[in-house]
Every structure is written in structure tokens, then in C-alpha cells.
């Protein structure tokens, strides 16, 4: 039987990497509409599973998930490949991008209550909790099914937010304004960021719930609880095999899973007292503009590598997404959009970002030691 490709594999399949898989896959998720209008009056005309038309302009992406798509559909499209790549030793990353209120947070994490198993809204679980459930069940399956060798895994996680240009630790809110150390060549890290070892999916869920509760949120006209910071969850998965007879190491792999949920650059973010958050909006806009610049540079083969370096150093966000964009990782970018006519401008800007991201060529390799 032919081995399935990593992107199509289901849990339990014996998979092998396929060099023809795109290293940066761009997926559009259209949220259900708020406006009670006929579909053809909205901003988005979906014409096929991989293309849509907005404002007379046609866009093609690797996959379009329409308003009827479920959380499970999103997981199958971006989550399962990510787990498979990670277990095969590749760095993987999922990035959610879009206007406020388009479903970035819903898609990536889902409602907080849905993270807990057995909850009535469990079907609404986002990509992240599903991804870690599959990751740990695959780890346990591999450990149990391997007779001739002993497979060991070690996972550790961190969770940070970039708020007003500062890096804060979401797992320890007393750790604020953290600094990035190192450089692109030798690898950079965030100094003093909490790193928690996890052994079960429940451990990861606890970290996700804790971190998300510490994220800065505010209100906008579109959304009563809108994200005011960019957040990045990282899980490092290390695995090593010992041949049981000799107890000699036979191979060792390490991979990083990076999940980034970005704030939208929208007008009118309000704080708890209803005041405009001018400073936050300025910071979000600035960082997204630097990110857009980086994506444009990386997606254009004419730009020399020196330009890449300068663009990465432009902001904390671009610095921390070095592996995700243009680096050593298999990546899925989720462009979240609303089908409503009133959001057309923001929708077009998100789709243009996705269109540029599609051109980026990452160099993803297995991290074998
Ligand atoms: P963002 O993070 O982009 O600002 P949210 O994820 O907070 O947006 O979504 C805004 C609101 O819309 C939330 O109440 C969320 O539950 C709802 N929502 C978003 N996408 C969907 C979807 N695909 N199905 C059902 N509800 C959704």
C-alpha cells in the first residue's frame, strides 16, 4: 500500500514527507455573516474550494473554508498536517491573520469553555487544543507500537504576548517587557520566558487556558471581546530512540510548533471604561505594517538577503516570526475574513496579505541530531 503524504495522513497512518507539499500553505476561513442579506450582496463570492472573488478581484489559495466550515474542517486542513510534520522532525507553524471579529481567536483556540473535555461546546474546540490532543495520542501510540526500540519524547511550552511593542509572559504575568537575545544565525530566544514541561494534553490545555485568560482584550464595535495583543504559543517536541537491546541512541529529533494569533489593525478599540485605546492601535498598526513589509520582501525573489535581515529586525513580531516566515518551518497561514459587505476593505487587505504570503518559500528540513 502506498504511504499517504504527510498532508493527507490521518492519525495512525504511516506517513512520509513529500517534497512537493507547499512550505507555506495559505488557507482562507470565511466566518458566518452578521448581515441579514442575500449571499450575492455580501463582499465574498466563493466560487470554488480554492478560489474566491471579492470586489471584482479573484484570489486563489490552497484552500477556502466557507462560512459553513466546522472547527474539525479547519483542523483537518491545517492541524493534522502540522502534527504529522512535527512528529517527522519538521518545525511547523500556524499563523492566524485578519481584521478584528473575523474569527482568528475562535479558529485558533475556540471558546475557553470548549477546551475542557466533556463540555457541551466541545465541538467548537479550536485548532490548538485539537492539535495537542492528536500530538499526545500519536506520541503514546508510537511508544506502545514500537517493540524493538524505546521511543522517548519530551515537550516544553511557552506562551507570550506582544502588547504595545513589549513582550510579556502569558504564563507568568509578573514577567513583563522581556528582551529577545541572540540573532537569526545562532537562533534567538526570549530571556526569562517561562518554559513549562508537559506530558499530557491536559497539561497543555491548562497552559492554554491560563495564557489566554492573561491576554489583553478590549471591545470594538465589531466584537465585545477583541484581542489587543499578538500572542505566540510555542511547543518544542524532542524525541530520541534507544535500541532496547544495546540501549544505544539510534536517532534524535527536535521540532518546534509555533501558533501565532495576531491582533487586527482596526479602528475603535475601546478599553473597559469605553475609552479609545489610541496607543494600542498605533502599536498594532505599526507592527502589522512591518509584518506586511516583511511578507512583501520575502515573497519577492528580487530582494537580496540583506533586506530580509533588516525586515526581520523591524519589530518584536517580525523578529519572533523568523522561523515561520522565510525560515525552517512548514507553515499554514489562516486568513480570517468576514463575508459582510461592510468589511470589504479589510477583507481585501487580508487577502492581499495571504496572496503575498503564498509566494514565500520556506526551507523546511528535518531537525535530526
Ligand atoms: P477575532 O479574534 O478575529 O477578533 P473572534 O475569534 O473573537 O474574532 O470572533 C468574533 C466572534 O465571532 C466571536 O464571538 C466568535 O465566537 C464568533 N465566530 C467567529 N468565527 C466563527 C465561526 N466560524 N462560527 C461561529 N462563530 C464564530
DSSP string, 157-176: EEEEEEETTEEEESS-TT--
Query: How many angstroms is it from 245 CA to the middle of ligand 1?
Result: 53
Q: Which of 28, 29, 30, 31 to mutate to test the pocket of ligand 1 (most atoms within 8 A of CB)?
A: 31
Torsion of CA 232, 177, 171, 198, to 10 degrees: 60
Taking only the tens place, the pLDDT of each residue in 149-159 is 678 889 999 99
**How is 296-353 classified by DSSP, letter by letter?**
HHHT-TTS-HHHHHHHHTTSHHHHHTTTTTTSSSEEEEEEEE---GGGHHHHHHHHHH
State the average pLDDT over residues 340-353.
Answer: 91
| pLDDT for the residue 88 | 86
Taking only the tens place, the pLDDT of each residue in 60-116 is 999 999 999 999 999 999 999 999 899 888 999 999 999 988 999 999 999 888 887
What order of strands is seen across the sheet that includes strand 57-60? Answer: 44-48, 51-54, 57-60
Query: How many angstroms is it from 247 CA to the middle of ligand 1?
Result: 50
Rounded Cα distance between 181 and 166, Å, is 14
160 close to 152: Cβ distance less than 8 angstroms: no
| pLDDT for the residue 220 | 52
CA distances from 331 to 122, 242, 257 (A): 26, 30, 10
| pLDDT for the residue 360 | 92
Domain boundaries, the chain: 24-145+156-235+256-357
SS3 state at 62: coil
| pLDDT for the residue 33 | 85
Minimum CA distance residue for ligand 1 atom 23: 31
Confidence band of 16 (pLDDT split at 50, 70, 90): low
| pLDDT for the residue 368 | 75
Q: Is position 199 annotated in a ligand binding site?
A: no
Q: Which residues pair with 259 in a beta bridge?
A: 94, 233
Query: How many angstroms is it from 179 CA to the middle of ligand 1?
Result: 32
Q: Which residues line ligand 1 (CB under 6 A)?
A: 31-32, 98, 100-106, 223, 226-227, 264, 336
Q: Is position 104 annotated in a ligand binding site?
A: yes
30 close to 337: Cβ distance less than 8 angstroms: yes
Taking only the tens place, the pLDDT of each residue in 197-227 is 999 999 999 999 999 999 877 555 445 456 7
Who has greater pLDDT, 234 or 10?
Answer: 234
Interface ipTM: 0.99
Rounded Cα distance between 314 and 97, Å, is 18
Sign, Cα dihedral of 19, 20, 21, 26? positive
| pLDDT for the residue 95 | 97
52 close to 65: Cβ distance less than 8 angstroms: no
Rounded Cα distance between 306 and 313, Å, is 11
Minimum CA distance residue for ligand 1 atom 27: 103
Taking only the tens place, the pLDDT of each residue in 225-283 is 567 899 999 999 998 877 666 556 567 888 999 999 999 877 655 566 656 577 888 88
225 close to 112: Cβ distance less than 8 angstroms: no
Q: Is position 126 annotated in a ligand binding site?
A: no
| pLDDT for the residue 252 | 81
Mean pLDDT of the chain: 85
The H or E element containing residue 208 is helix 201-214
- CATH architecture under which domain 24-145+156-235+256-357 falls: 3-Layer(aba) Sandwich (3.40)
Amino acid at each position: 500500500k502506498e504511504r499517504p503524504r504527510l498532508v493527507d495522513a490521518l492519525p495512525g497512518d504511516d506517513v512520509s514527507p513529500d517534497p512537493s507539499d507547499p512550505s507555506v500553505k495559505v488557507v482562507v476561513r470565511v466566518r458566518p455573516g452578521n448581515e441579514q442579506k442575500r449571499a450575492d450582496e455580501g463582499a465574498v463570492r466563493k466560487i470554488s474550494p480554492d478560489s474566491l472573488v471579492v470586489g471584482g478581484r479573484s484570489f486563489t489559495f490552497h484552500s477556502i473554508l466557507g462560512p459553513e466550515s466546522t472547527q474539525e474542517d479547519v483542523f483537518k486542513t491545517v492541524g493534522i498536517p502540522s502534527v504529522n510534520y512535527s512528529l517527522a522532525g519538521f518545525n511547523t507553524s500556524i499563523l492566524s491573520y485578519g481584521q478584528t471579529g473575523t474569527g482568528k481567536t475562535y479558529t485558533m483556540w475556540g471558546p475557553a469553555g470548549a477546551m475542557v473535555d466533556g463540555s457541551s461546546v466541545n465541538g467548537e474546540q479550536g485548532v490548538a487544543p485539537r492539535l495537542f490532543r492528536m500530538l499526545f495520542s500519536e506520541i503514546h501510540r508510537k511508544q506502545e507500537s514500537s517493540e524493538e526500540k524505546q521511543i522517548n519524547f519530551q515537550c516544553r511550552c511557552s506562551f507570550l504576548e506582544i502588547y504595545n511593542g513589549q513582550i510579556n509572559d502569558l504564563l507568568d504575568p509578573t514577567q513583563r517587557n522581556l528582551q529577545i537575545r541572540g540573532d537569526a544565525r545562532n537562533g534567538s530566544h526570549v530571556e526569562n520566558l517561562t518554559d513549562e514541561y508537559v506530558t499530557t494534553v491536559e497539561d497543555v490545555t491548562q497552559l492554554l487556558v491560563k495564557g489566554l485568560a492573561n491576554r489583553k482584550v478590549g471591545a470594538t464595535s465589531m466584537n465585545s471581546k477583541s484581542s489587543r495583543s499578538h500572542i505566540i504559543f510555542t511547543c518544542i517536541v524532542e524525541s530520541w530512540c534507544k535500541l532496547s537491546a544495546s540501549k544505544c541512541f539510534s536517532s534524535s529529533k527536535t521540532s518546534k510548533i509555533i501558533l501565532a494569533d495576531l491582533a487586527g489593525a482596526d479602528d475603535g478599540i475601546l478599553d473597559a471604561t469605553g475609552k479609545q485605546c489610541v496607543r494600542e492601535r498605533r502599536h498594532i498598526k505599526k507592527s502589522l505594517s512591518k509584518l506586511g513589509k516583511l511578507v512583501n520582501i520575502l515573497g519577492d525573489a528580487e530582494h537580496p538577503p540583506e533586506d530580509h535581515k533588516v525586515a526581520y529586525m523591524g519589530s518584536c513580531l517580525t523578529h519572533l516570526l523568523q522561523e515561520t516566515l522565510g525560515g525552517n518551518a512548514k507553515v499554514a497561514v489562516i486568513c480570517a475574513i468576514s463575508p459582510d459587505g461592510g468589511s470589504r476593505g479589510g477583507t481585501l487587505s487580508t487577502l492581499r496579505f495571504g496572496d503575498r504570503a503564498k509566494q514565500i518559500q520556506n526551507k523546511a528540513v528535518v531537525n535530526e541530531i
